A and B are shown apart, each in its own frame.
Chain A
């Protein structure tokens, strides 16, 4: 398999074999994260909107492999704030670096930047659209905790309408014969465009409004935050906000192997008493991001 030079803009840019190759490499890096294999490479890490967590994960991934990292994390420090177009910024940058990692608040900015760039580009989030490296690390976390990606019961909880990590995860897990359990308030159901992927893959999904119903048979419970501003009616938010909070008492009777994931940061949707249970995996999940990003950068640079 050759991923050299292949952009990662959207989770659908890669196929099942390519996901598995990245996950295999991620495992290698987890066992041996410090290797000087990107010694002569320059990675541009350009964050037009701040995201400390994602940026640090990428930059430490690159640094551990010996790459030089240049870029910016503060949009006001860039020439874009002086009116330079994204087009010109990317053209200029392409001359200096081997790969670009970009975060932007505008949807589609990543796809467009990749068309303009003469080096490969990894999307580190483009507005409400895509955040494919988060999805890859979710897949890696599922694989690690379940020892397989196939035939799992995946429960997705919270804001399924706007949560881009949920949309990408559903799309990716459609390759692995998953059954989806969708738990959300009526106002925040999974959009039909995402359900279409499930139907096209001939897989099953069920929709629920009560979280406790699905805990006993879930292999993965993927929690997301419900934001007040997503509700057109504030009273509706007040009514549902507490019904999507997971606490330790609710986990009685769950599968031994069940694990809870969350893209972080959490607010209150997972009670802190869950942190000490063996089911909590969200902090390790975040750590897995470094290995997955190492895998992606080396594969795309053609080093692995």
Chain B
């Protein structure tokens, strides 16, 4: 518990909401935007480069009065595969959720095929997950399967 209370000094506790822990330090902003927290109107607290016993450095996000469905959480699987979501009610941890790689990945990735319509015109990308480990995805449009993942800018 001492660990958690130290963190809470850095990023203050919330009464109700979700704490997203164990985010890689370089993807905290992506997690924010994928989950729509960059446009969220209630309180969002962000901590980055915090010490983590498991991962060295990590990021953490706390969103007040915000609760996620599993399918929304899964959207961050590619950028924060080891993230833990802690659901807080009345300052108590009531549930822990883990991300899983989803069946479909929309908008956040870029197709590696330069002659794909998604790279030629303004079209949101859509990928089907063909294999989860190692990750293999297929573009809905050009139908290319790929194992190297690139994020949209």
Which residues of A are at the interface with B, using a C-beta cutoff of 8 A?
10, 85-87, 105-109, 111-112, 126-130, 193
Contacts and interface: CB of A to CB of B under 8 A. Distances in A.
Contact of A106 (B117, B140, B143, B145): B117
A85 B144 CA distance: 23
Contact of A109 (B117, B139, B140): B117
A86 B119 CA distance: 13
B144 A107 contact: yes
A111 B111 CA distance: 15
B141 A86 contact: no
B142 A85 contact: no
B52 interface: no
Contact of A107 (B121, B122, B141, B145): B141
Interface string B119-153: 01111000000000000000111111100000000
B141 A108 contact: yes
B25 interface: no
Contacts, number: 48
Max chain A Cβ within 10 angstroms of own Cβ: one of B111, B113, B117, B144: B117
Nearest to B139: A108
A130 B143 contact: yes
Given A108-B140, A108-B143, 7 more contacts: A105-B115, A106-B120, A107-B143, A108-B123, A108-B142, A127-B142, A193-B145
B74 interface: no
B123 A107 contact: no
14 contacts: A85-B121, A85-B122, A106-B116, A107-B113, A108-B111, A108-B117, A108-B139, A108-B142, A109-B117, A109-B141, A112-B121, A112-B123, A128-B115, A129-B143
Nearest to A192: B145
Contacts of A105: 115
B51 to A, nearest CB: 43
Interface of B: 111, 113, 115-118, 120-123, 139-145
Given A85-B121, A87-B121, A112-B123, A107 B115 contact: yes
A215 B92 CA distance: 74
Max chain B Cβ within 10 angstroms of own Cβ: one of A85, A87, A112: A112
B146 to A, nearest CB: 10
Contacts of A87: 121-122
A126 B116 CA distance: 10
Max chain B Cβ within 10 angstroms of own Cβ: one of A85, A107, A111: A107
Contact of A127 (B115, B139, B145): B115
Contacts of B113: 107
A86 to B, nearest CB: 6
A86 B121 contact: yes
A128 to B, nearest CB: 7
Nearest to B138: A193
A67 B111 CA distance: 38
Contacts of B140: 108, 111
A10 B113 CA distance: 18
A85 B123 CA distance: 11
B123 A106 contact: no
A112 B117 contact: yes
B41 to A, nearest CB: 32
A106 B115 CA distance: 6
A112 B115 contact: no
A85 B115 CA distance: 15
Max chain A Cβ within 10 angstroms of own Cβ: one of B123, B139, B145: B123
A112 B140 CA distance: 9
Nearest to B136: A193
A42 B113 CA distance: 34
B113 to A, nearest CB: 6
A226 B116 CA distance: 24
A112 B124 CA distance: 10
B123 to A, nearest CB: 6
Contacts of B123: 108, 112
